[in-house]
Amino acid sequence: MDELHTRLYEARGLRTVSALQKNAFDALYVATAAEAAEKVLAFVYEGARVGFGGSMTIKSMNIQERAEKKGAIILDHNKAGLGAEEKMQILRSQLTCDVFISSANAITMEGFIFNVDGNGNRVAALSFGPKKNVIVAGMNKVVANLDEAYERLRTYASPLNNIRLEKPNPCVTQGYCADCVLPTRICRIYQVLRRKPSLSDFTVILVGEDLGF
């Protein structure tokens, strides 16, 4: 990344961190994904039950593999070979895990965290349950306000996730959200965290790189 974008990301990142802190979140800014990974793994310990929110950001940082090497118990609902009941059991167990690691669909410079789910397991865990919640987001996910967050979802994040999951939804071919009513729709639960949930230990790490979508 060139120096101009680095300086812009840092300025926007530090401003957003300040807003998140005013909304009671523990928040910090780091320059690289490598630094962010070290911050995340500092919360992981041997025997910890660690859940993941299906994040491409976290996947790109190899957090799950590195957590497993530290002796953590990985709650992976996408593990190959799982039956439907086994998968559901893992999804439920993530709600009371020791560390839940995820990203966000958008974070506003007002200090709000915006997410959209299909099943609701991620937004449920981010609301209440895990002993520790950690969100990692690249600066490509930082927007000015909630209007921009919704627009980012409709024109970018939702179509890309539908393509990734090979869903037969209109946004795959149209390139933007059509507010479809198909049974395969993945945008079903919309969540805005305006302040840190009262009973949660919650850290947000913003990264001066483009990560995930």
- pLDDT at 14 (0 to 100): 98
Phi, psi of 177 (to 5 degrees): -70, 135
- pLDDT at 37 (0 to 100): 98
- pLDDT at 107 (0 to 100): 98
Range list of H helices, 56-199: 56-60, 63-69, 84-94, 121-127, 146-152, 158-164, 170-174
Mean pLDDT, rounded, for 14-22: 98
Mean pLDDT, rounded, for 44-52: 97
Mean pLDDT of the chain: 96
Neighbouring C-alpha atoms within 13 Å toward the C-beta of 17: 21
Nearest of 22, 63, 71, 17 to residue 40 by alpha carbon: 63
Identify the H or E element spanning 107.
Answer: strand 106-108
What Rg value do the Cα atoms of the chain yield, rounded?
17
Report whether pLDDT(110) > 90: yes
- CA dihedral 83→85→87→88, nearest 10 degrees, is 160
Nearest of 212, 210, 185 to residue 117 by alpha carbon: 185
Confidence class for position 174, pLDDT limits 50, 70, 90: very high
* Domains recognised in the chain with CATH numbers: 3-207 (3.40.50.10420)
Report whether pLDDT(34) > 80: yes
Span 114-157, pLDDT tens digits: 999 999 999 999 999 999 999 999 999 999 999 999 999 999 99
pTM above 0.85, yes or no: yes
- pLDDT at 78 (0 to 100): 86
Q: Which CA distances in Å does 93 have to 33, 67, 79, 129? A: 28, 17, 14, 10
Report whether pLDDT(1) > 90: no
Mean pLDDT, rounded, for 161-181: 94
Mean pLDDT, rounded, for 5-21: 96
